Every structure is written in C-alpha cells, then in structure tokens.
C-alpha cells in the first residue's frame, strides 16, 4: 500500500523470477484493494502489483493487466465470458460436492457468489491437491470459455470452470467467481489501472533516483491518452515493455480497424446558454440526427468495419453501407475513419424516418437482399485519412478534409447540415428547421480553437440541444431497471411499474432514481416484462443502493438500458441517485418519468452516471426558463 518509491519489487516470497505469477498474488491484491476507498492508495497497490510483475515476470504482464481490468479481449473483438449465474452455480455445486439448492441458499444469504465459493472450498478436503493456479492458467482458461461454441459447449465450459474452482484456495475462490461473473466490484476503475500502469512503467525504467510526482503523473496521463485512441492492451503492454512509457504515443498509434470511444456532448438547456458558454469562440451548429452512431473504418486493403457507440462490431447490420462506401469516396482516398449517424431514410419522399423504424432492422448477418429499411449515412467528422490521424486537427480543418474527400449522394451519403453563426435568432430558426427535418435538435461544436476530437470524452466543446429542452431539463436519461412491481387490473400478468437506477462508476453501484409506469404501450410492456423475467434474481445485489422504504416485488440482474424523459429532477428522501453530490443524505429522483425507448447500444455501466444526474439537477436550478415555470406553478 506504500507510495511505491520506497518499495523494491521482489517476488522471492511468492515465486521464483521467471516462474509464472501465481493467481494468489493477484487475489490478495484484490483483497487489499477491496478494503480501501482512497483513489491514491488503490493506485499505489495496483502500481506495486504491476511493478512486481514487470520486474520479475514481464511475460505475464498482459494477462495481469487484463485480469485487473476484468476483461479478456478488446471490446471490438466481441469476445466475452457471457456466463450467467445459473451455469456458475451448477459448476460451483459440482466442484464442491454440494447440491445446487445449497449453493443457491447460501448465495441468497451471503449475497456474493465469490463468498459462497470461499466458504464451500474451505469446508472441502481433497485427496489430491491440484497444482496452484497461475495468472496464465486462469486467463487462458477464460479465453477457452469465451471461445467455446457449438455442440457440448455448455458441458465444456462447465468443465473449464470446475478445473479452476477445484484448484482455488485462500481468497482465490472469491475473485475467481467475480471475474467469471465479469463483476469484480472492488472499486478498481479502469482509469486507475491505466494510471498505475503508466506509473509502474516509469519505476521499471532504469533510474538513479526515484521518479518525481510530476513524472508519475505525466506517465499516467500518457497511458490514459494512448488507451483512448488505441484501446487494446495487446498493443499497449508490449509497447510499454519494449520502448517504455515516454515513447508510447509514438509506438502505439490510432489505426483503422481499432475503434475509439466516440466524443460525446454535454446537454444544454437553451440557445442562450450556448451563446454564454461559447462566448468569444467561433462555433458551429449541426443537425442532431436520430439514428445510430457509427464509426466507419475503411482499411487500405478496401475492407470496411462499422463500429457502434460502444466500439462493438456492427458491420453485419449494414451490408448496404459497406457495399456502397467506395462510391462516395474520391479516388485519391485509400483509408479513412468517419464519425457518422446512420439514419432510417425514405428515399422516395426524401425524408428522414424515426429511430423506431431503424430499430426494426435485424442486428446481425443482415443480407442485402432482405433489407426493408433503407438508411442514409450522415457524416459529421473524419478522424483519419490516408494514413494520417486527424484527431489533433481543429474541426474546421477536419471538415475541409471531409468535404474534399467524399461526394454526397442524396439518401445514401450526406454531410450533416450545418450553420455557423452566433446570432441567437438564426440559431433558433436553425433548431426549428432541424426539428422539421425529423432531427432531435442540434449539436453545437467549437470550430477553430479548442476544437480537436476528444475520444471517449463528454466534452465541454460539444453541446447538445434537444427540441424538448423547453419543457424539460434539457436531456433524457439512460437508466437501468433493477426491480419491478407486479401489475394489477389491466396490467395483471405483466409488471405494473419498474424501479430504475443510474450508475455511479466511482463506487460501482446502481442507485435508484425513480419508479416508472408511464410511456409503455401494451406491446412494449409485454416485451420488457418477458425479457426482464429471465433476469430475476432472488435478492437485490449488494451494489444496489435504494431507500429501505422501496420494496419491489422482484429484483433484476442489471441487463438493459432505457431512455427516459421526465418533467424535472427533485431531491428525494427515498431514492439514492447522486447521494452526497447535492445533498449529503438525500438522493435525486425524477418527477413524472416516462419511457422513450430501449437503448440497445448501451450496456448497464453506460447508463447516465450519478455525476451527470447531479449536473442536470444543478443545470435545472440555473435554467431561467424552468425557474419561470416553477414561479408560475407557485
């Protein structure tokens, strides 16, 4: 836990240099981290783990980093463990000679499958003790589990899991189970891991004296920045080991084929707020299209990949776009990455269609001949062109590259409609025109200064203005159903209302924000109810936070994300969203929430964060229009 300067990496107490790193080393570190809440101490522990591995067994560093990140591959490869509680319970019961019923009861009592595994393993005496687990063995087995498919794959997966459980001892079962569930939940955020990785790399470089705080901070920043454009540990870790942290930005480059997190916008509540925020800056407004974010990568060999907002491979959904792409690019263009919105489009009437129509397209392996919903690509940014990253260029330069490199084809490929003006009335008219063209509103962006592309960042330099900012507080929220109340009367047999939560990434918990029962058609209610019925869990997860007067009839594994609108945000004694941010004991809740849509492109951890909820609450308090409405109501 010490600040690493006083610590000399030494594995002697654990393993011989060059031997494989025992899994117990990492499990003990997880145990230490779990007991801490301070970011600096957690960073130090993680840094010490990484330094030790770098100094003794660098060949294991990649696997150690992956396990610390609780991942097994980069997001765009789509390789996931995908294990449900049911299959883990089965494997655990069989490995420990217990019945599934006993495991389930114990899970209900302890609330954590890892703790159940620890108890069961400690009671078990074995005739033959398997060799100790190593990091490499655990990671490789995870990969085998993720890759297992086809006939007998369930059985093979179970056997892989059992081979790990029977060898786990001490605190290993706890973290083995949590890693298998892909829910480590020890408050080790990926940002902390990246900082620690940078720091460890500085320590591991030959130095006559310990590095300074400034060097450590700088190294952490470099690794975070590089990860934001190359989110692939398989590239970063070898580059760090080979050429060191100070060269990392040169040795690890943004390239087509590896998606980056998209730049995101902050909500604004009115045109005048934009003029206030962007005072003295040149800014530009673009239509905010209502479709699906797409990062289109065109490789030098002519192959194409389309990635979603979450960096997932979405190429199979848009074979029509893939096939048509070379028609829009000029002959001088041989590689590029575009940032776009793909929107459902009626080519006969030359009209944008609502998002709901786009969502009827199948998600995978679409055949061009089966396509019923046409789409148009609205390109608003270019991030890479002919071998050169453009992220550090200002938006006006990137736009020029975009316009110079592509030809529009109405209804197939168009540039986002833009207006560059700081005249309040003109912007208001442009907003109205955007709404008339079936867009959601505007995205306003700085153009010439502070206008680089900021991957994975919700930036102050992009503001989103939605049409309903007038009657609500600026933005909808993306929330996770964590519980439900049984329906009565007309809603008998389905759920009548749901308990929704936002996500607090610092504490890794879902915090309740409101009950919702409005905005559901009968069909949608039926659909959501039957989907969530498969996610029912016997007890709330330890990482749910909610007031104890809330007593839903059932709880759910966090699995889906719903976009929700509301009249406003209010301080609540019952809900726990953003507790401690605005009020020390009370949370924030939504008044009159109503469902807008299911967000298939977001995972539960991508839900609106508690920090965003608090920001929205504060923005609402400062919104003169809202204040006026409140006065009228008073």
Query: Distance between CA 513 and CA 473 in Å, rounded?
Result: 16
Residue closer to ligand ATP (CB basis): 76 or 178: 76
Buried/exposed 180-196: b ≥16 CB within 10 Å, e otherwise: bbebbbbbbeeebbbbb
Of 237, 251, 231, 250, nearest to 204 by C-alpha is 237
Distance CA 372, CA 96 (A): 52
Site pattern 229..248 for ligand ATP (x: CB under 6 A): --------------------
Contacts of 580 (CB under 8 A, 6+ apart): none
Question: What part of residues 521-550 is at the interface with ligand ATP (CB under 6 A)?
Answer: none
The stretches of 35-180 forming alpha helices (DSSP H) are 39-56, 61-68, 85-96, 100-110, 113-123, 135-147, 153-165, 172-180
Q: By C-beta, is 112 or 290 nearer to ligand ATP?
A: 290
Using Cβ positions, the residue closest to ligand ATP within the complex turns out to be 293
In whole angstroms, the minimum distance from the beta carbon of 296 to ligand ATP comes to 13
Considering only residues 450-469, where is the footprint of ligand ATP by CB under 6 A? 464
Cα–Cα dist 33/30, whole Å: 5
For 198-238, list the strands marked E by DSSP. Answer: none
Residue of 148, 151, 146, 132 whose CA lies nearest to 20? 132
Give the distance from CA 150 to its chain's centroid: 29
User: For ligand ATP, which is the closer residue by CB, 146 or 443?
Assistant: 443
**Of positions 478, 504, 509, 560, contacts ligand ATP by CB under 6 A:** 478
Site string for ligand ATP, 276-315 (x = CB under 6 A): ----------x-xx---x---------------x------
104, 538 contact by CB (below 8 A): yes
Q: Which of 562, 597, 602, 605 is nearest to 309 (CA)?
A: 602
Q: Cβ closer to ligand ATP: 326 or 460?
A: 460
Instruction: Give the chain's end-to-end CA distance (angstroms, integer).
Output: 55
399 scored as a contact of ligand ATP (CB under 6 A):
no
Q: How far is the CB of 110 from ligand ATP (least distance, A)?
A: 35
Among 443, 482, 532, 561, binds ligand ATP (CB under 6 A): 443
Q: Check if the beta carbon of residue 374 is closer than 8 Å to that of residue 346.
A: yes
**CB of residue 222 vs ligand ATP: minimum separation in angstroms?**
26
Q: How many C-beta neighbours within 10 Å does residue 605 have?
A: 15
Choice between 139 and 462, CB closer to ligand ATP = 462
Q: State the catalytic residue, choosing from 34, 157, 169, 288.
A: 288
Q: Site residues for ligand ATP, window 364-383 (CB under 6 A)? A: 380
Cα 548 to Cα 19, 256, 540, 565, distances in angstroms: 50, 50, 12, 25
Please state the closest distance from residue 605 (CB atom) to ligand ATP, in A: 13
Q: Determine which residue in the list 73, 264, 366, 598 makes contact with ligand ATP, applying CB under 6 A.
A: 264
Least distance CB 583 / ligand ATP (angstroms): 25
CB count in 10 Å sphere of residue 320: 16
Count, residues near ligand ATP per rule CB under 6 A: 14
CB-wise, 135 or 607, nearer to ligand ATP?
Answer: 607
Q: If DSSP states are collapsed to H, E and C, what string results for 115-126? A: HHHHHHHHHCCC
72, 165, 196, 416: residue in contact with ligand ATP (rule CB under 6 A): 416
* CB closer to ligand ATP, 74 vs 262: 262
> Minimum Å distance from CB 291 to ligand ATP?
7
The long-range contacts involving 549-553, CB below 8 angstroms and separated by at least 24 positions, are 549/574, 550/483, 550/499, 550/512, 550/574, 550/575, 552/483, 552/484, 552/485, 552/499, 553/483, 553/484, 553/485, 553/486
Among the candidate windows 93-101, 260-268, 494-502, 509-517, which touches ligand ATP by CB under 6 A? 260-268
Residues 309-368 that bind ligand ATP (CB under 6 A): 309, 341
Closest approach, Cβ 318 to ligand ATP, in A, equals 15
Nearer to ligand ATP by C-beta: 356 or 530?
Answer: 356
Q: How far is the CB of 599 from ligand ATP (least distance, A)?
A: 7
Under 8 Å between Cβ of 125 and 97: no
169 in active site: no
Pick from 265, 311, 337, 588 the residue near ligand ATP by CB under 6 A: 265
Region label for 343, one of left (φ > 0), alpha (ψ between -120 and 50) or beta (otherwise): beta
Binding site for ligand ATP (CB under 6 A): 262, 264-265, 286, 288-289, 293, 309, 341, 380, 416, 443, 464, 478
Active-site positions read: 288
């Amino acid at each position: 836990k010490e600040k690493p300067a006083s610590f000399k990496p030494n594995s002697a107490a654990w393993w011989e240099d060059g031997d494989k790193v025992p899994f117990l080393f990492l499990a003990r570190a997880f145990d230490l981290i779990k007991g801490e809440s301070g970011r600096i101490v957690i960073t130090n522990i993680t840094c010490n783990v990484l330094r030790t591995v770098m100094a003794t067994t660098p060949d294991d560093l990649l696997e150690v980093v992956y396990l610390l990140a609780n991942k097994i591959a980069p997001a765009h490869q789509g390789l996931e463990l995908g294990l449900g509680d049911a299959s883990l319970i089965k494997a655990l019961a069989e490995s420990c000679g217990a019945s599934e019923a006993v495991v389930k009861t114990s899970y209900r009592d302890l609330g954590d499958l890892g703790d159940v595994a620890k108890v069961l393993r400690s009671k078990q005496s074995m005739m033959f003790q398997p060799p100790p687990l190593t990091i490499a063995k655990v990671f490789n087995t995870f990969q085998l589990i993720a890759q297992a498919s086809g006939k007998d794959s369930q059985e093979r997966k179970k056997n892989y899991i059992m081979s790990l459980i029977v060898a786990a001892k001490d605190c290993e079962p706890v973290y083995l189970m949590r890693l298998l569930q892909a829910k480590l939940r020890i408050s080790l955020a990926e940002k902390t891991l990246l900082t620690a990785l940078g720091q460890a790399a500085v320590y591991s470089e030959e130095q006559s004296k310990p590095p300074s705080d400034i060097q450590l901070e700088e190294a952490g920043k470099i690794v975070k920045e590089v990860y934001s454009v190359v989110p692939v540990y398989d590239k970063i870790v070898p580059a760090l080991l080979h050429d060191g942290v100070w060269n990392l930005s040169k040795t690890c480059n943004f390239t087509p084929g590896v998606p980056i997190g998209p730049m995101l916008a902050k909500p604004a509540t009115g045109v005048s707020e934009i003029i206030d925020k962007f005072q003295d800056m040149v800014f530009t407004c673009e239509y905010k299209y209502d479709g699906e974010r797409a990062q289109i990568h065109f490789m030098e060999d002519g192959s194409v990949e389309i990635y979603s907002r979450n960096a997932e491979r979405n190429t199979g959904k848009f074979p029509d776009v893939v096939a048509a792409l070379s028609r829009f690019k000029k002959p001088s263009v041989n590689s590029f990455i575009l940032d776009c919105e793909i929107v459902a489009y009626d080519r006969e009437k030359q009209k944008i269609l609502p998002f709901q129509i786009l969502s009827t397209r199948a998600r995978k392996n679409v055949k061009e001949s089966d396509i019923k919903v046409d789409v148009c690509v609205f390109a608003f940014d270019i991030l890479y062109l002919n071998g050169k990253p453009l992220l550090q260029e200002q938006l006006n330069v990137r736009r020029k590259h975009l316009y110079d490199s592509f030809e529009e084809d109405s209804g197939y490929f168009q540039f986002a409609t833009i207006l560059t003006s700081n005249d309040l009335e003109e912007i208001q008219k442009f907003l109205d025109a955007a709404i008339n063209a079936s867009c959601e509103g505007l995205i306003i962006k700085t153009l010439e200064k502070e206008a680089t592309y900021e991957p994975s960042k919700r930036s102050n330099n992009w503001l989103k203005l939605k049409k309903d900012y007038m009657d609500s507080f600026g933005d909808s929220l993306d929330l996770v159903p964590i519980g439900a109340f049984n329906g009565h009367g007309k809603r008998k047999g389905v759920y009548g209302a749901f308990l929704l939560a936002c996500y607090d990434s610092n504490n890794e918990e879902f915090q309740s924000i409101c009950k919702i029962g409005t905005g559901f058609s009968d069909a949608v209610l039926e659909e959501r109810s039957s989907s969530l019925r498969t996610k029912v869990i016997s007890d709330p997860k330890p990482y749910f936070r909610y007031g104890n007067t809330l007593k839903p009839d059932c709880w759910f594994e966090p699995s889906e994300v719903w976009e929700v609108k509301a009249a406003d945000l209010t301080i609540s004694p019952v809900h726990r969203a953003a507790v401690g941010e605005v009020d020390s004991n009370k949370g924030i809740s939504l008044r009159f929430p109503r469902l807008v849509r299911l967000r298939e492109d977001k995972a539960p951890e991508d839900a609106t964060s508690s920090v965003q909820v608090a920001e929205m609450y504060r923005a609402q308090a400062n919104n003169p229009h809202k204040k006026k409405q409140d006065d009228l109501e008073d």
